[in-house]
Chains A and B, each alone.
Chain A
Amino acid sequence: MIYDALIGPFAEFDFMRRALVGAAALALSGAPLGVFLILRRMALTGDAMAHAILPGAALGYLVAGLSLPAMTLGGLAAGFTVALAAGVVARFTALREDASLAGFYLLSLALGVVIVSVRGSNVDLLHVLFGSVLALDDATLLLLACIASVTLIVLAIGYRALALETLDPGFLASVSGAGAPTQLVFLGLVVLNLVAGFHALGTLLAVGLMMLPAAAGRLWSADITVMTLIAVGIGLASSYLGLLLSYHYGLPAGPAIILVAGVLHLVSLVFGRAGGLIRHVSTGRHLEA
């Protein structure tokens, strides 16, 4: 009975196992990136860049159909172009990064819609918008796993630079020239993971496994390591529970995963020990010193 509810679907069906592995890969690398996006006050940047990927992927789709390489390359190219352009604009003009990013993603989103409307069939476009976590083939799964591995390795190597670039960019600039490359590499990782998320969850929900677990993690701990671990845990739990929900109640899998992450986020908002609502309301009497 319990076996049937919790483990059976994955033991029985190959596509469920693949979905679980794919979503787990996304959660593993996306959550730590999300933590840094939040610490850098770039939570909305991830969302903006996810939209920026759409026209590239759509272009790849129009040229080569539902082909993994074409859509991946298209998405990467569009994502990197927007990230780079936004970075360059922020560095060398009066506009700050958020404003310049908003400009570029609107531009590329509009461009994407135009491309699609010129020559598009709506059926496959659903796949582009909402992903296909229940239909991950070997190649896609391998891509997700590679992106997760590369992300975690690069994060481990560049951790200090990234943390310092977030904490005190002026100091980093005064002791090392690593500031600009760090920013670029970080944005590159975000784009990579958004493209990975795009394959499984679609362009609209790609940021979900990045931002929701990270935001929830922030509410449980003020320690960056603990925060990250909790975020990864919430991401993994959301993947598992979301897939179960989708299997038992016939819900669309991608949205179900994000929905669970969202609910866990709401729970954290209320109960979180480091800044949740309850904590905020019931602080107890003040201390002696």
Chain B
Amino acid sequence: MSAAITFRDLTLGYDRHPAVHHLSGQVDGGALLAVCGPNGAGKSTLLKGIAGALKPLDGAVKLESCRPRDIAYLPQAAEIDRSFPINVFDLVALGAWRSAGLFGGLGRKARERTFEAIAAVGLTGFEDRAIGTLSGGQMQRALFARVLLQDAPIILLDEPFNAIDQRTVADLVDLISRWHGEKRTVLAVLHDLELVRKHFPQTLLMARESIAWGDTTQVLSAENLLSARRMAEAFDRQAHECERAA
């Protein structure tokens, strides 16, 4: 299997403090990878780094056969201004960015695909609703529909199921499985280990550094989870410069 994303001794962080520390490895093309770990483990930071929203402090993220802009990235707390006067259809249609861009029209085909994406997440009938009137779960469905429309080879989801009811989670997991079936590379930050065991064949367990990476059943062992918890949240204001060989 060829790599879709390669980490080369990647260190990401804020203000020189590493949140992801010396991570190396590769995500295979078409992989369905769960990223797990305790709070502060650097999971969101890793996705930001892959999406190109954060420059590495050291090392590199290498994307094979696609640019950062071709990645569909659903951040944990999307910076969406929910009071902005836009309806669900227009929000989802933004996913057609690659064909429409800054100036292009939407086109009949993209309009149809927008309606399909809205239907796929179960929001049919909500097209004209202002996004400010949606519930949290409905908003998340709309954002999934936008990702769906982006038709991206790599999809990054940061805790996509926070505060989402079980039926919605089931629907959205189906959607993720569909992406997996279409050979897209999907990375999702998740806390629900049951869900991960059930639906994600591969897992990266991290606590700033990679604790274990591979088949989910082996990675999520009691032993690994314990050491992940121990290693997390070791922020040191007086930390020395890291001298580990790059």
Q: Which A residues form the contact surface with B (CB < 8 A)?
A: 39, 157-158, 160-161, 163-164, 166-171, 173-176, 178, 222-224, 227
Contacts and interface: CB of A to CB of B under 8 A. Distances in A.
A280 to B, nearest CB: 16
A168 B69 contact: no
Contacts of B86: 163, 167, 224
Contacts of B53: 170, 173-174
A168 B51 CA distance: 16
Given A174-B51, A174-B71, A176-B97, A167 B84 contact: yes
Nearest to B146: A171
A168 B73 contact: no
Contact of A39 (B79, B84, B146): B84
B125 interface: no
A175 B80 contact: no
Contact of A160 (B71, B98, B102): B102
A172 to B, nearest CB: 9
User: How many interface residues does chain B have, given as a range?
Assistant: 20 to 34
B235 interface: no
B85 A222 contact: yes
Interface in B122-152: 130, 146, 150
Given A39-B84, A222-B85, A161 B102 contact: yes
Interface in B78-98: 78-81, 84-86, 91, 94, 97-98
Given A222-B130, A223-B85, A227-B85, A168 B102 contact: no
Interface of chain A, main secondary structure? helix
The interface centre, meaning the residue of A170, A173, A223 with most chain B CB atoms within 10 A of its CB, is A170
Contacts of B98: 175
A227 B84 CA distance: 12
B75 interface: yes
A174 B102 CA distance: 13
Contacts of A178: 102
Contacts of B146: 171
A42 to B, nearest CB: 12
A176 B85 CA distance: 22
Contacts of B103: 157, 160
A168 B80 CA distance: 4
A164 B79 contact: no
Contacts of A163: 84, 86
Nearest to A227: B85
A154 to B, nearest CB: 13
B102 A170 contact: no
Contacts of B78: 168, 170-171
Contacts of B80: 167-168, 170-171
A79 B102 CA distance: 28
B97 A169 contact: no
A224 B130 CA distance: 12
